[in-house]
Structure 1
Amino acid sequence: MSARSAALPIDGRRFLIVGGASLVGSTTADLLLARGAGRVVLFDNFSFGSRDAVRHLVDDQRVTIVSGDVMRLPDLLAATEGVDGVLHLAAMMTISMDRDPWAGLDVNVRGAQNVIEACVVRGVGKLVFASSNAVYGYGPGVAGDLVEDTPFHAAGAPPAAILYGASKIVGEQLCRQAHQKRGLDYVVLRYSTVYGERQHYRAANALYIVETHDRIKAGLRPRVIGDGAETKHFVYVGDLARANAMAFEADASDVAVNVSGPEPVTTLQLVELVCELTGTSLRPEHVAPEAGKVRLTSGGAFRIDHAAAERAIGWRPEVGMREGLRRLLAWRDQAGAPAAAAE
């Protein structure tokens, strides 16, 4: 007797995106619909998600937008009824965790468990859980190639970053437990910092992009924190949407893999690339970190390895940093992104 397949084809199937009014949620919805999904439910409490991000989808008869909260299990039970696959994106990130750690832990841990419970009760075919490379931690201990069994490092990192990373570790283990004890098929995707069209201001590392662009638009010199040698990893939102879709389609379960961009970039390289793409003559200035402002630090050069993602779900990144930034900046210019106030 052959083993049951964990593959969930997209064509004709019904999907729920928890945190659907987000950058990643709206882009993934676009892709699922383009690949023939029969129904896509976008579930969001709109505390961070934006109705503008999903406005282009409201006329599609296959799309349902549901106002609900991951802290309310009945909301999730109603939303998961008749659903084949669930993508769980809703979470409070590092900046929000810094402002309200109690709420952040509630949403990221209890909220994740509520989503998992709803999936099990409703017999959902597969859960794709959005984790983060924050599960490896931050600070001097983070160096070299980061593979899926790299241990967590906390020394020298901001408390909010450690709380966020730890909450994602807990979420991953809740998925594992549900698989082992209750048979839920799942794939964990450990996102690096997402960027792309419909970019927001909530991701600490993405602020290097949007704040640089805002300052240039305001005629101000962009800023580089410290010497700019810190390594950052970004992944273009279109590549990430593909990873989400491929995680459903692959015959893979009970696995956690990295999804990151092709190459790392230093903060100085990132700011200089934004300057180059905007054509500004303004040159970056190096400044000290602002007191009380969360910035995620690394100890030096590191690379997020995504070979396991290629083996498990057939995914590899396609859009490089230059092209992805070009698309983002063009979108921000067209959308009329606000310029920073003069200082």
Structure 2
Amino acid sequence: MPDAAVPIAGNRFLLVGGASLVGSATAAELLDHGAAEVVLFDNFAFGSEEAVAHLRDHPRLRLVRGDVMRLPDLLRAAEGAAGALLLAAYMTLSMDRDPWGGLDVNIRGVQNALEACRANRVRKAVFASSNAVYGYGPGVSGELVEPTPFHSQGAPPAAILYGASKIIGEQLCRDYGRKHGLHHVTLRYSTVYGERQHYRAANALYIIETIDRVRRGLAPQVLGDGSETKHFVYVGDLARANRMAFESAATGVAVNCSGPEPITTLELVRLVTELAGGGPAPEFVGEEPGKVRLTSGGPFRIAHEEAERAIGWRPEVGMREGLRRLIAWRDGNEGRAGA
């Protein structure tokens, strides 16, 4: 079996679902490290051209319109690629609105992308999984390490469908590794935030909606008593993790990619309000009927030490600095929500 390490410089990379928050940051990271070409493959159902507008004129970037549900599109896009980052997915809120479409994209779409990798002899796939593979509800508390089992009791169906679809995607990667020798690394992302932030991630809404309310002079809202734990990761740190996963000799591993430390929703809302220039004290609100809420059983930490052992990565940007960058972007010329 060939070496699992794929250098960035001089190689071509395919980013499936690349016109996105993580895709745009990873494309810039790969280009900065000398990639010969980065191909952003997207059908723009959720991605947007605004999310990659800052890269549009880069001579080594190519934007390809295609759909993960159409294997021929992926087969063409993967030609000559040394590595592929599999990002395309429905998240929980989208899964709630359209579970059939979400299961298609998150399962068959991943299978199609892996088949395109196999057919084109792509050397390594990096799969964007999620800490949702641990589930939600009473069982999710304490130290969440990679062997933590899946918990589903009491969680919204869409959240469980999303988490289960990511588990299946991970196993499809393992299957292609076992049967076809495809090198792969699975990165279990925490909630991603940063420049070009979108409105589609249930936990990231705490950030973006707080900014919006503060900017309108309204009191930010905190669901419940604010003690719920959340774990975020800055998009620039995650782009670096994607690059290092390609460069590392690791294969057949699944590791957490989380920020330096967790935060409660009340701490988060207060920090965002402070960094956005201040505003009214937060108001505590109850659940909205029919709105998807992601809950855990108590305080938890998503451990990222295994990622350092496997691919040499650790988070560098804390919430205060990451939020400062996000708010500066929102207030600048690019201050439109990306995808």
TM-score, normalization by structure 2: 0.98
Aligned to 1:182: 180
Aligned to 1:13: 11
Picking from 25, 28, 31, the partner of 1:33 is: 31
5+ residue gaps in structure 1?
none
Instruction: Quote the Cα distance in structure 1 between the aligned partners of 2:123 and 2:85.
Output: 11
Aligned to 2:306: 308
Q: Displacement, 1:281?
A: 3.2
8 Å contact from structure 2 (residues 19, 44) kept in 1: yes
Picking from 257, 270, 290, the partner of 2:255 is: 257
Picking from 159, 162, 166, the partner of 1:161 is: 159
8 Å contact from structure 2 (residues 219, 279) kept in 1: no
Instruction: Quote the Cα distance in structure 2 between the aligned partners of 1:274 and 1:122.
Output: 45
5+ residue gaps in structure 2?
none
Q: Secondary structure at the match of 2:332?
A: helix
Aligned to 2:236: 238
8 Å contact from structure 2 (residues 217, 279) kept in 1: no
Q: Displacement, 1:4?
A: 3.8
Q: Displacement, 1:261?
A: 0.1
Q: Displacement, 1:336?
A: 6.9
Matched residue count: 337
Matches within 5 A, 1:65-104: 65-104=63-102
Instruction: Quote the Cα distance in structure 1 between the aligned partners of 2:333 and 2:145.
Output: 37
Matched, 1:54 2:42: no
Aligned to 2:213: 215
Q: Displacement, 1:338?
A: 7.3
Q: Displacement, 1:298?
A: 1.0
TM-score, normalization by structure 1: 0.97
Q: Displacement, 1:335?
A: 4.1
Matches within 5 A, 1:105-120: 105-120=103-118
8 Å contact from structure 2 (residues 135, 163) kept in 1: yes
Question: Could you list the per-position Cα deviations for residues 73-114 of structure 1 after superposition, in whole angstroms to 9, with x for gaps in the alignment?
Answer: 000000001111000100000000000100000000000000
Give the alignment's Cα RMSD to 1 decimal: 1.1
Instruction: Quote the Cα distance in structure 1 between the aligned partners of 2:154 and 2:283.
Output: 25
Q: Displacement, 1:279?
A: 2.4
Q: Give the aligned residue type for 1:66.
A: V
Q: Displacement, 1:5?
A: 1.9
Aligned to 2:283: 285
Q: Percent identity?
A: 72
Q: Secondary structure at the match of 2:207?
A: helix
Instruction: Quote the Cα distance in structure 2 between the aligned partners of 1:30 and 1:4.
Output: 27
Specify whether residues 154 and 335 from structure 1 end up closer, same or farther in structure 2 by C-alpha distance, changes over 3 A only. farther
8 Å contact from structure 1 (residues 145, 304) kept in 2: yes
Aligned to 2:226: 228
Runs of 4+ in 1 over 3 A off after TM superposition: 335-339
Instruction: Quote the Cα distance in structure 1 between the aligned partners of 2:262 and 2:54.
Output: 32
Is 293-302 or 97-106 further displaced after alignment? Answer: 293-302
Instruction: Quote the Cα distance in structure 1 between the aligned partners of 2:336 and 2:274.
Output: 20
Q: Displacement, 1:219?
A: 1.0
8 Å contact from structure 1 (residues 193, 233) kept in 2: yes
Picking from 161, 184, 200, the partner of 1:202 is: 200
8 Å contact from structure 1 (residues 19, 42) kept in 2: yes
Specify whether residues 33 and 338 from structure 1 end up closer, same or farther in structure 2 by C-alpha distance, changes over 3 A only. closer
Picking from 136, 140, 143, the partner of 1:142 is: 140
Specify whether residues 300 and 335 from structure 1 end up closer, same or farther in structure 2 by C-alpha distance, changes over 3 A only. farther
8 Å contact from structure 1 (residues 9, 249) kept in 2: yes
Instruction: Quote the Cα distance in structure 2 between the aligned partners of 1:182 and 1:280.
Output: 55
